[in-house]
Chain A
Amino acid sequence: MAIASDAPKQSFRLSQLLYDTRYRSTTIQVVVLMLFMAVAAWLVDNTITNLAARGKDFNFGFLGIRAGYDIGQRLIAYDSDSTHARAMLVGLLNTLLVAFLGCIVATVVGVFVGVLRLSKNWLVSRLMTVYVEIFRNVPVLLWILIIYAVFTEAAPLPNAFREGGAASMILFDTVAVTNRYTAVPDPLFYRSLGNIDIGIFLISSDLLAIIAAVVAGWYANRLVLRRATAVQNATGLRPVTWWKTLALLILPGVLTLWALGFHLGYPSLRGFNFTGGINVSNSFMALWLALSLYTGAFIAEIVRAGVLAVSHGQTEAAYALGLRPGRTMNLVILPQALRVIIPPLISQFLNLTKNSSLAIATGYLDLRGTLGGITLNQTGRELETVLLMMLIYLVLSLLISGAMNIYNASVKLKER
Chain B
Amino acid sequence: MKKSVFFGTLATAGLVAGFAAASTLDDVKARGELNCGVNTGLVGFAAPDANGNWSGFDVAICKAVAAAVLGDPSKVKYVPTSGQTRFTALASGEVDVLARNSTWTFLRDNDLKLDFVGVNYYDGQGFMVPKALGVSSAKELDGATICIQTGTTTELNLADFFKANNMTYQPIAIDSNAEGEQQYLAGACDAYTTDASGLAATRAAFANPADHIILPEIISKEPLGPAVRHGDNQWGDIVRWTLNALIGRPWPDDGPRQPLGKTRHSGGWQLRRNLCRNDR
Measured CB to CB, the residues of A under 8 A from B are 42, 46, 49-50, 53-56, 68-72, 79-81, 152-153, 157, 159, 179-180, 270-273, 275, 279, 282-283, 360, 363, 365, 369, 373-374, 376-380, 382
User: Within the complex, what minimum Cβ distance (angstroms) separates A343 from chain B?
Assistant: 37
B143–A152 touching, CB < 8 Å: no
Q: Which of B37-45, B148-156, B253-261, B267-275 contacts A (4 or more CB under 8 A)?
A: B148-156
CA distance A4 to B190 in the complex (A): 89
CA distance A152 to B142 in the complex (A): 22
Which residues of chain A come closer than 8 Å to B84, judged between CB atoms?
Answer: 373, 376-377
A69–B159 touching, CB < 8 Å: yes
Which residues of chain B come closer than 8 Å to A55, judged between CB atoms?
Answer: 113, 230-231
- Subset of 18 A-B contacts with CB under 8 Å: A46-B18, A50-B18, A54-B113, A55-B231, A56-B113, A68-B155, A69-B156, A69-B159, A179-B186, A179-B187, A272-B141, A273-B144, A273-B145, A363-B172, A363-B175, A377-B150, A380-B107, A380-B111
How many residue pairs between the two chains, A and B, have CB atoms under 8 Å in the bound complex? 110
Pick from A270, A279, A382: contact of B88, CB under 8 Å: A382
Residue with the greatest number of chain A CB neighbours at <10 A, chosen from B18, B158, B173, B183: B173
Pick from A49, A79, A157: contact of B163, CB under 8 Å: A79
CA distance A74 to B120 in the complex (A): 38
CA distance A70 to B145 in the complex (A): 12
CA distance A363 to B158 in the complex (A): 17
User: Within the complex, what minimum Cβ distance (angstroms) separates A89 from chain B?
Assistant: 18
Summarize A's interface: helix, strand, loop or mixed: mixed
Which residues of chain A come closer than 8 Å to B108, judged between CB atoms?
Answer: 380
Which residues of chain B come closer than 8 Å to A282, judged between CB atoms?
Answer: 188
Pick from B11, B87, B91, B187: contact of A377, CB under 8 Å: B87
A273–B143 touching, CB < 8 Å: yes
B229 CB-CB contact with A under 8 Å: yes
CA distance A157 to B145 in the complex (A): 12
Pick from A53, A72, A271: contact of B143, CB under 8 Å: A271
B113–A363 touching, CB < 8 Å: no
Measured CB to CB, the residues of B under 8 A from A are 11, 15, 18-19, 21, 83-84, 87-88, 91, 107-108, 111-113, 141-145, 150-151, 155-156, 158-160, 162-163, 169-175, 183, 186-190, 229-231
Pick from A71, A271, A378: contact of B151, CB under 8 Å: A378
B160–A68 touching, CB < 8 Å: yes
CA distance A216 to B234 in the complex (A): 73
B113–A180 touching, CB < 8 Å: no
Q: A49-B19, A273-B144 are in contact. Are A363 and B163 (CB under 8 A)?
A: no
Since A152-B188, A378-B156 are in contact, a sample of 16 more A-B pairs with Cβ atoms closer than 8 Å, ordered by chain A residue number, is A49-B18, A49-B19, A53-B21, A54-B229, A54-B230, A69-B156, A70-B158, A70-B159, A72-B173, A179-B188, A270-B143, A272-B145, A272-B190, A363-B172, A363-B174, A380-B87
Q: A55-B230, A68-B159, A374-B151 are in contact. Are A272 and B144 (CB under 8 A)?
A: yes
User: Within the complex, what minimum Cβ distance (angstroms) separates B184 from chain A?
Assistant: 11
B143–A80 touching, CB < 8 Å: no
CA distance A272 to B147 in the complex (A): 14
CA distance A373 to B85 in the complex (A): 10
Which residues of chain B come closer than 8 Å to A360, judged between CB atoms?
Answer: 175
Residue with the greatest number of chain A CB neighbours at <10 A, chosen from B83, B91, B150, B183: B150
Pick from A46, A49, A80, A380: contact of B160, CB under 8 Å: A80
Which residues of chain B come closer than 8 Å to A377, judged between CB atoms?
Answer: 83-84, 87, 150-151
Which residues of chain A come closer than 8 Å to B174, judged between CB atoms?
Answer: 363
Q: A179-B186, A272-B190, A273-B144 are in contact. Are A71 and B113 (CB under 8 A)?
A: no
User: Within the complex, what minimum Cβ distance (angstroms) separates A358 from chain B?
Assistant: 13
Which residues of chain B come closer than 8 Å to A365, judged between CB atoms?
Answer: 173
